Amino acid sequence: MPFIYEDYKKSADALFELSGGAEPEILLILGSGLGFMADEIESPVYVGYGDVPNMKRSTAPDHKGRFVFGRLCGKNVAVMQGRLHCYEGYSMEEAAYPVRVLRLLGTKKLLLTNAAGCVNTSWQKGDIMVINDHIRLFGFGPLNGPNISEFGPRFNDMVRAYDGEYIDLAKKAAGDLGISIRTGVYMYFPGPSFETPAEIRAARVLGADAVGMSTVPEATVAAHCGMRTLGLSLLTNMAAGISGEKLSGEEVNQTAEESSERFSALVRKVITGM
């Protein structure tokens, strides 16, 4: 059953109470292997997803499944330590649910991070990519069902789903830090299987630079309700069939760990400028 506006309102009211009246400026969603960044929040207040009415729980390995409210780089932030994915059995609307809840708490800026497979053969495992567009060709999106007009219009524009100024900000932040950064297109696959080599060849023909199992639900809903979004992908592995090696969740987590300092420095710098 699709949600109605009152469902979101109920969740937002509860989250406001549980967080002690948080009014975060930025929502930061942490992808696979990147949850450690929540440990950097000052004066943290934790709220488990299970304590928020209507919210689904995070079941993905290593995703803690809680909000952390507090300060990061001088900004009031809400961090999702672990996100919700469709492969956990959730609809796209359920996966993106927290974005609208935070919007009702006044949040207008969204920083999405993810681990992704690298499709672009000129790039390397460990590279960081700022997302300038995405591809989601198949299946229902998160706005399927009756439109909730309090959030946005029935047919919403996706041309500026990834904010141009934020893309420039990420490039400049990376330059200042001496970190190299790629810019490209993220293609959504529902998972939980990694893609087949043929799917990756198809993705490349279609114009994808990276593939992953998240981000698109949240970015779509954020565009609909007028939030500014920045997406950063850590390319934790070459996508299926490129290196000939077997893909695994362990490789994803290992690369994320190896890149943690670089990635978190970039996230901090970007948040300062958002």
Please identify which residue in 105, 213, 221, 266 interacts with ligand HPA, judged by CB under 6 A: 213
What gap in Å lies between CA 64 and CA 253, rounded to an integer? 14
Q: Does 185 bind ligand HPA (CB under 6 A)?
A: no
Closer residue to ligand HPA, CB minimum distance, 163 or 195: 195
Closer residue to ligand HPA, CB minimum distance, 4 or 198: 198
Closer residue to ligand HPA, CB minimum distance, 9 or 201: 201
Min separation Cβ 262 and ligand HPA, Å: 17
Min separation Cβ 118 and ligand HPA, Å: 8
Residue of minimal Cβ distance to ligand HPA = 117
Please identify which residue in 94, 237, 242, 271 interacts with ligand HPA, judged by CB under 6 A: 237
Closer residue to ligand HPA, CB minimum distance, 48 or 191: 191
**Quick check: bond before 192 cis, omega within 30?**
yes
Distances (CA, A) of 36 to 43, 62, 68, 80, 144: 16, 10, 12, 11, 33
What gap in Å lies between CA 51 and CA 162, rounded to an integer? 31
Min separation Cβ 116 and ligand HPA, Å: 5
SS3 45: strand
Q: Does 203 bind ligand HPA (CB under 6 A)?
A: no
Are the CB atoms for 266 and 232 separated by under 8 Å?
yes
Closer residue to ligand HPA, CB minimum distance, 101 or 115: 115
Please identify which residue in 239, 242, 266, 267 interacts with ligand HPA, judged by CB under 6 A: 239
Buried b (16+ CB within 10 A) or exposed e, 36-45: ebbebbeebe
Please identify which residue in 69, 151, 166, 189 interacts with ligand HPA, judged by CB under 6 A: 189
Q: Does 115 bind ligand HPA (CB under 6 A)?
A: yes
Q: DSSP labels for 151-209?
A: T--SS---TTSS-HHHHHHHHHHHHHHT--EEEEEEEE---SSPPPHHHHHHHHHHT-S
What gap in Å lies between CA 132 and CA 52, rounded to an integer? 32
Q: How many CB atoms lie within 10 A of CB 197?
A: 13
The pairing of beta strand 66-72 with beta strand 210-212? unpaired
Which residue stretch of 14-22, 66-74, 179-187, 211-219 sits at the interface with ligand HPA (rule: CB under 6 A)?
211-219
Q: Does 117 bind ligand HPA (CB under 6 A)?
A: yes
Residues in the site for ligand HPA, rule: CB under 6 A? Answer: 115-117, 189, 194-195, 211-213, 236-237, 239, 247, 252
